[in-house]
Amino acid sequence: MKKSRIGLFLGVGVIVLVCGVYILRRGSGPAAAPPTSTTQTPPSMTETPPSMTETPPPLPPPPPPITISVANTKPIEVKAQTWVDIYFTLPARACTLTGHVEGISGGQKDFEGFVMDDDNYRTWSSSHLARGDDSQTWGAASGRLVVWSPNVTLQGPGTYHLVVSNIFSLTTAKVVTVKARVNC
């Protein structure tokens, strides 16, 4: 009987060993599952977060440049106590008005020049404030000059006015040339 017990123990031992190997290869089941944690482990220093490897979408190209011819006139007569208004409309962006205004005849050939937005022009023209040279209010003002080269940055959209005034002269008409354009 001793041999049969040894054979029985050997048989049971082999079965236990085979089952153990099977369980280890398959996984140890729920008892050996790693514990779950609510804290996250920080990424290693060699890992790059996905947000840093993604390239941002390209910026849209800037709008094409726009040039607006405001004035390229033959000589204009500005009668005494009047003005000439040249208005223009800007697109929705920053623009620069550049120009050249020159008195070519009449008295001392002097005039006053202004660049104003539409609201200020309406106030100015209804009040006849041609002597005002407040560039904070009007955008640009020349004072009395024979030659004026405005260079003014304007923000669109909106209507603006280039004004050549002779309102200060009681009796003498002036003749001026006006060349101006806006680059946006």
- Contact (CB, 8 A) for 144 and 57: no
Structure tokens at 131: 């002597």
58 occurs within a structural domain? no
- Asked if 150 and 91 sit in the same domain, the reply is yes
User: Model confidence over 23-36: pLDDT tens digits?
Assistant: 666 655 555 555 55
Residue 150 has a pLDDT of: 94
pLDDT of 135 reads: 44
DSSP 66-83: -EEEEEEPSPEEE-TT-E
Q: For residue 103, what are the domain limits?
A: 67-183
Residue 80 has pLDDT above 50, yes or no: yes
Average of per-residue pLDDT across 114-120 = 92
- Tell me which amino acid residue 117 is: D
116 with 172, same domain? Answer: yes
In a domain, 43, yes or no: no
Is pLDDT of 87 > 60? yes
In this structure, the strands spanning 174-183 and 151-155 are unpaired
Ramachandran region, residue 139 (left: φ > 0; alpha: ψ -120 to 50; beta: rest): left
Categorize the per-residue pLDDT at 8 as very low, low, confident or very high, splitting at 50, 70 and 90: low
For 127-172, write each residue's pLDDT tens digit: 755 444 444 444 567 778 999 999 999 999 999 999 999 999 999 9
Least Cα distance to 134 among 114, 162, 158, 148 occurs for 114
Domain assignment present for residue 126? The answer is yes
What percentage of the chain carries pLDDT values higher than 90?
Answer: 52
Task: Determine the pLDDT at residue 37.
Answer: 53
DSSP annotation of 1 reads: -
Q: Which of 35-39, 51-55, 169-173, 180-184 has the lowest mean pLDDT?
A: 35-39
For residue 47 the two structure tokens come to: 């890992």
pLDDT score for 134: 46
- Residues 177-182 have a mean pLDDT of 97
- Has residue 54 been placed in a domain? no
Between 182 and 7, the more confident residue is 182
> For residue 111, what is the domain's CATH number?
2.60.120.680
Q: Is residue 57 part of a domain?
A: no
Please tell me whether residues 92 and 170 are part of one structural domain: yes
pLDDT reading at 107 higher than 70: yes
Q: Are residues 75 and 19 in the same domain?
A: no
Asked if 98 and 10 sit in the same domain, the reply is no
Q: What is the rounded (10 degree) CA torsion for 87, 93, 96, 99?
A: -30
